[in-house]
Structure 1
Amino acid sequence: MATGRSLAGVYSARATRPMPLRAGARAPCAGAAAAEPAAEHVRRLVAEFDPAVPLDSAVTPPSGWYTDPDFLQLEIDSVFFRGWQAVGHIWQVKNPNDFFTGRLGNVEFVVCRDANGKLHAFHNVCRHHASLLACGSGHKTCFQCPYHGWTYGLDGTLLKATRISGIKNFNKNDFGLIPIKVATWGPFVLIRFDDESTEDNVYDTVGNEWLGSASDLLGTNGIDTSLPHICRREYIINCNWKVFCDNYLDGGYHVPYAHGDLASGLQLQSYETLTYERVSVQRCESAPAEPDDFDRLGTKALYAFVYPNFMINRYGPWMDTNLAVPLDSTRCKVVFDYFLDKSLLDDQCFIKKSLEDSEQVQIEDIALCEGVQRGLESPAYSVGRYAPSVEMAMHHFHRLMHANLRHCMNTVLYCNLVNSATFQLHKKHVCWL
C-alpha cells in the first residue's frame, strides 16, 4: 500500500519510515524521532472530531479525514505502524519454505517459514542496494536478490554476497534481513513494527494484545484454524479505506436498502452490536430457511471488526475476512479470503453459488462506497450525524482513530519541545565557553 508521495510537511521522511533494526533492538516511536510538527491543517482536522460528545449528540469526523493526503500519512504513522496488524492467514505459510509478501505504508515485507517450520517476517529489501527480494507468494528454499544475487536464508541470514572481494569493514552477520515481529492468532498471521508487545508471542498473549477482552468471544464462535482456505478475491475501490470500514460498521443500516437478497435472509430486528477495547461485534439471526432453500447463512451471523482495518464474518459453514488496505487518500484495496467447513469441500455447487451471492453483495457495497467518496469530496458536505440506535460501532471506530492520532501528535510535539530545549541548553553552554 503506497501513498506515492512525500510527507508534504506533516513529518520528515525519517520520521515515518520504520528504521532498520537489528534483532532485539527497540523500535523508535513511529512519527516521533526527528519529526517536525504536524501540519496545522492536519491538527485542525483531528481536533474537529470530539470523541467525548455522546453518540446521540455527536457529529462524524470531517470530510478531510477521508480526502486529505497529509491526513493519511498521519494515519499510517499513528495507526498502522502501531500494534498488531493482520496481513494474511496461516494457509499461505502452511509448509516449511512457504512465503508471501505484502506492503503496508512504505514498508515492504515478507512472511515465511524456514526449513524447520519456524515463522518469520522480514523487511523485503536486500541489504546491498535495496532491491525487493521476493514477489507474490510461493515456495522457496532461499531468497536471492534479482539485482546482484545476494542470497538470504529463510531465517534471514545472509548466505552469499557476490563479488565483494576487497571490501573492508564488512561482517556478513551485520547484513542479514531486518526482522519484523510476527505472530499468529487462530488462522490469522499478524505483524507489528513497534516494540510494545511481549517477547513471548504465545497465542493468549497475542490474542489479548490484538483483540483484548473480545478474544474469548471470537475464539469460541468458530473463528479458528479448523476451516480450510477456499479462495481469495481482491478489489480496488475508489474510496478512502475508512469509507469501506464505516459501511461495514453501520449496524446493518444500509442492508435493506442496498442488499435486498441478503436482507431477505436476515432477521434485521435481531441485530445487536457489542463493543470492546479494539473490537466491535455485530450479530444477527438468520431468517428460517425452507427445506429446499439454498442456505449459506446458517442460523446466525457474526461480524467482527478488529481495529483498524480487519473484518471477520462467520455465518453458517463459512468464514470470510476483509482487509481494507489504503493505497492513497481516495483509493483502497480490499482483500477477501474465504474459508469453509471441511464437510462441504466437495460440494462445488454449494461453493459456487455461495461465492456468487457474496460477490453480488461486494458489487453493491463497492457502488455505495464509491458514491460516498464522491460525496465526501463535494463542497456541499462537511460533517454528518450518527443514527444512535445502530451506528455505535462506527462511532467506536472513529473514537479509536482519534485517540491514536492525538497520541501521535502529542508525542511529536513533546519530542520537538525536548529537542528544542536541548538545543537551547547546548547553545547556552557553547556561548558561555
Structure 2
Amino acid sequence: MPKDHIDPIAALRENTSVPFERARAMPTEVYTEQSFVDAELEYIFRKDWYCVGRADALSAPGDYVACELAGQPIVVLRDRDGDLRAMSNVCLHRMSTLLHGRGNAKTIVCPYHAWTYNLDGKLRGAPAMTKNEGFCKDQYALPQVRCEEWLGWVFVCLDPEATPVAAQLAEVAAKIEGYDMANYSEAFYEEHVWDTNWKVLAENFMESYHLPVCHAGTIGGLSRLEDMICPPGHAAFNYHTILKDESLRIAMAHPSNDRLEGDARRTTYLLALYPSLMITLTPGYFWYLSLHPKGPGQVHIRFGGGMSNDFAADPDAQDNFTALKTLLDEVNVEDRGCTEKVYRGLCSEVATPGHLSHLERPNYDFAKYLMARIDAGSSS
C-alpha cells in the first residue's frame, strides 16, 4: 500500500538523532522527494564549495570549464595574468549561456549575437549597438564568483561568506601531507549522468563494505573488510582507508618518495569532501567524482584522475596508467549498476532503511552533515 506522506527533512532529523551504534540508513524520502532536492540546492549547493576539477587542466590562458551550480551557469578559466577566476556564464545582452564543456578560448564570444568578453569578464565588443544611445560598453562586465585553489583542486562558491576552502580542509591537508596531492597531474576527464540520486553515489563511494560483492568482477577480491578503517567524520569531510595489495605497483609510493613510511606507502585514502567531491588517493595515482544533483533521480558526474608526478619519468608509467583507466571504467560500470538498482529500490512503496554496519560510519556522518547544513540554512 502507498506510504503516508512524510516530510523528508523531519524524517532525516529523527534519523540523525540516533547514535551511530543504533543508526539506520537515511529515510527513502531524503532521496526521492523533490522538496529535499530543493532544500539541498538552497542550503548546501548554494552555500558550500563545489569542485569543478583540477587546476593543471586549466593551465594555459583561456583554458576553461563550464558548470551549473544550484541552477547558476558559471565558467571557471585561467585569465591572461595566469590567475584562476570564476564568473557568470550568462551573456549580459539577451542572456544566452556563453561557454560549454571544457576547452580554450582567446575571448568569450556569445553564440547568440556575438557580444564578446575579455577573459576578465569585461565586455570587449558588441556588434550593431552604436545606435542605442544608452549603451556604454564600459558598463558591462560579467559578475564574478568566488574561486579558490586547494592542493591542485579548483572550487567555486556562490556564498560570499563561506569559510575559505583551505581553512575548512586544514585537517585533510595535514593527514595526507606525505602524498603531496598538488603534485598529481590529471590524465583524463569525463562527464556523465546516471539514473540515481547524487547521495546514493556519494554514499557508495564513502563505504567499502560493498566492494567484495558489487565489484566481484574487478577489485572485490583484493578488498579485505578487516583492513578497512572508518574513523568518525569531521565537520567538512569524512574518510576511510584501505591497505592496497603491493601487486598494484602504481598504487604504492614511488621509490623516490621519502615522505611516506611503513604502511603509509601502501595506504589508500577515500576522502569525501562535503558536499560532493569524492577522491580516491593512493601514493601513486588518484581518481575523483564531483557530483551535482539533477532532480531526485539523476546525478551529474565529473569523473577524472591521473598519476603522481613522482612516476612521470618511469618508462612504463603510461602503460600502467592505461591499464588502470581500463580497470576504473570497469569499476564504474559495476558502480552504476549497483547505485541505479539502489535508487529503483528506494522508490518502492515498501522500502525501509536498515541498520548500518560499522563499515558505514562515513554514511552516518554524511547524514549528520546534511541535516546540520539544512538546519543552519533554514533557520538563518
The normalised TM-score by structure 2 is 0.88
Change (3 A) 1:247 1:162: same
The answer to whether 1:380 aligns with 2:350 is yes
CA distance in 1: counterparts of 2:379 and 2:125, whole angstroms:
44
Q: 2:175 aligns with which of 217, 227, 243?
A: 217
Q: Aligned equivalents of 1:223 and 1:76: distance in 2?
A: 32
SS of the residue 2:326 aligns to: helix
CA positional deviation for 1:47: 0.9
Contact 1:324–1:333 (CA under 8 A) maintained in structure 2? yes
Q: Tell me by how many angstroms 1:234 deviates.
A: 3.3
Alignment match, 1:320: 287
The 1-side partners of 2:340 and 2:180 are apart by 30
**Alignment partner, residue 73 of structure 2:** 108
Q: CA deviation at 1:157?
A: 0.8
Partner of 2:260: none
SS in structure 1 at match of 2:287 = strand
Q: Provide the rounded CA distance (Å) in 2 between the counterparts of 1:75 and 1:249.
A: 19
Change (3 A) 1:330 1:197: closer
Amino acid at match of 1:276: H
Q: Give the Cα–Cα distance (whole angstroms) in 2 for the partners of residues 212 and 401 of structure 1.
A: 20
- Structure 2 residue 171 is matched with structure 1 residue 208: no
Q: Map Cα deviations across residues 312-337 of structure 1 (whole Å, 9 max, x no partner).
A: 11124111111122122101122221
Is the CA contact 2:48–2:275 (under 8 Å) kept in the aligned structure 1? Answer: no
1:330 to 274, 297, 305: 297
Residue identity opposite 1:96 in structure 2: P
Tell me what 2:359 maps to.
Answer: 390
Preserved contact between residue 214 and residue 276 of structure 1 (Cα < 8 Å): no
Q: Please, which of 244, 247, 252 is the counterpart of residue 204 of structure 2? A: 247
Indicate if the aligned counterparts of 2:57 and 2:186 stay in contact, CA closer than 8 A.
no
State how far apart, in whole Å, the 1-side matches of 2:58 and 2:327 are. Answer: 29
1:380-406 per-residue CA deviation (whole Å, 9 max, x = no partner) reads 11433212x211110000111011112
CA offsets, 1:112-169, max 9 Å, x none?
1221212211110000110111122222221111211211110111111322234344
3-state SS of the aligned residue for 1:399?
helix
Contact preservation (8 Å) 1:208, 1:215: no
Give the alignment of 1:395-414 within 5 angstroms. 395-411=364-380
Question: Map of 1:132-281 to 2, 5 A cutoff?
Answer: 132-197=97-162, 206-209=165-168, 211-218=169-176, 220-250=177-207, 252-260=208-216, 261-274=218-231, 275-281=233-239
Distance 1:78 1:322 in 2: 21
- Structure 2: runs of 5 or more not aligned: 253-265
Q: Distance in 2 between matches of 1:223 and 1:330?
A: 36
Asked if 1:130 corresponds to 2:87, the answer is: no
Aligned to 2:306: 339
- Of 20, 24, 27, which residue of structure 2 is paired with 1:62? 27
Q: Which amino acid aligns with 2:285?
A: W
Alignment RMSD: 2.0
Q: CA deviation at 1:59?
A: 2.9
Find the partner of 1:304 among 261, 271, 282: 271
Name the structure 2 match of 1:351.
321
Matched AA of 2:46: F
Residues in 1 aligned to 2:249 and 2:350: alpha-carbon distance in whole angstroms: 43
Contact 1:283 1:302 in 2 (8 A): yes
Q: CA deviation at 1:296?
A: 4.0
The alpha-carbon deviation at position 212 of structure 1 amounts to 4.5
Q: What is the percent sequence identity of the aligned residues?
A: 24
In 1, distance between residues paired with 2:192 and 2:76? 22
Change (3 A) 1:350 1:213: closer
In structure 1, C-alpha distance between the alignment counterparts of 2:80 and 2:329, rounded to whole Å:
38
1:123 aligned partner, one-letter code: S
State how far apart, in whole Å, the 2-side matches of 1:130 and 1:346 are: 50
State the distance in 1 between where 2:35 and 2:48 align.
21
Question: In structure 2, which of residues 26, 30, 40 is the aligned counterpart of residue 75 of structure 1?
Answer: 40
Distance in 2, matches of 1:234 and 1:101, equals 11
* Structure 1 residue 57, shift from structure 2 partner: 2.0
**Preserved contact between residue 98 and residue 112 of structure 1 (Cα < 8 Å):** yes
Kept after mapping to 2: 8 A contact 1:63/1:376: yes
1:45 is aligned to 8
Deviations along 1:249-292, one digit per CA (max 9) or x if unpaired, are 22x21111222342333443121123222111111112353xxx
Q: In the aligned structure 2, how far is the partner of 1:313 from the partner of 1:155?
A: 34
For residues 66 and 216 of structure 1, do their structure 2 counterparts lie closer, same or farther at Cα, with a shift above 3 Å needed?
same
SS in 1 for 2:294: strand
Aligned length: 356
Mapped partners of 1:311, 1:206: distance in 2: 15
**For residue 162 of structure 1, what is the amino acid of its counterpart?**
P
Distance 1:54 1:332 in 2: 29
> What per-residue deviation string (whole Å, max 9, x for no partner) do you get for residues 331-374 of structure 1?
11222211113325753431222112222211111111011001
Contact kept, 8 Å, 1:103 with 1:109, in 2: the verdict is yes
